[in-house]
Amino acid sequence: MTTIQQAIELRAEGKPEEAKTILLELLPQSPDDPDIHYQLAWVHDMMGLESEAVPYYEKAISSGLRDPERSGALLGLGSTYRTLGMYGKSKEIFEQGLREYPRAREFKVFYAMTLYNLRQYDKAMELLLREISDTSNDEGTRSYQRAIAFYSDKLDQVWK
């Protein structure tokens, strides 16, 4: 009998088509299983089938997907919406992710990409600069950490 774990292993081995086949066989047996939906979303994304991944992400989240997979599903859905040009929906999902996972820095980075697409360049740059100043291990960047953080929200300001 095939299992979701076998599908996960196949996906991890770079065999998304085989993983997809197993997951689609499992789905009718457990149509509301959030883990199956999440894995199907992931496999579809991996195969470049972003628009087909969306309903699986949505169903996984609405069916009560638990951590740590929930965080990954929110990030995946927000990112997929962005790549499909659905910037408003992407922004909503990333804001939800930031509320639910305020310490998960990856949401800020992906959110910044969406803000860029929404032409909110100042906010996008501010988020990225703050993340760089807070997380970089590069010696040169660390030496200017305070300045980078200070200027992150003042990019259009001119001092005379």
SS (H, E, C) 108-149: HHHHHHHHHHCCCHHHHHHHHHHHHHHHCCCHHHHHCHHHHH
From the list 17, 19, 36, the residue with the least C-alpha distance to 28 is 36
Q: How far apart are CA 26 and CA 140, in angstroms?
A: 51
From the list 117, 96, 118, 116, the residue with the least C-alpha distance to 107 is 96
* Residue pLDDT tens, the chain, 160 long: 579 999 999 999 999 999 999 999 999 999 999 999 999 999 999 999 999 999 999 999 999 999 999 999 999 999 999 999 999 999 999 999 999 999 999 999 999 999 999 999 999 999 999 999 999 999 999 999 999 999 999 998 888 8
> Has residue 81 been placed in a domain?
yes
What is the pLDDT, as a whole number, of residue 158? Answer: 86
143 and 66 inside one domain: no
Q: Please give the model's pTM, rounded to 2 decimal places.
A: 0.91
Per-position b or e across 92-109, b if 16+ CB within 10 A of its CB: ebbeebbeebeeeeebbb
125 and 83 inside one domain: no
> Has residue 112 been placed in a domain?
no
Evaluate whether 50 touches 86 at the Cβ level (below 8 Å): no
Q: Domain of residue 35: give its range.
A: 4-103
15 and 87 inside one domain: yes
Q: Where residue 22 sits, what CATH number does that domain have?
A: 1.25.40.10
CA dihedral 99, 127, 82, 68 (to 10 degrees): -40
Evaluate whether 43 touches 23 at the Cβ level (below 8 Å): yes
32: left (phi over 0), alpha (psi -120 to 50) or beta: alpha
How many independent structural domains does the chain possess? 2
What is the pLDDT, as a whole number, of residue 1? Answer: 58
90 and 19 inside one domain: yes
Question: Which of 103, 129, 149 is the endpoint of a domain?
Answer: 103
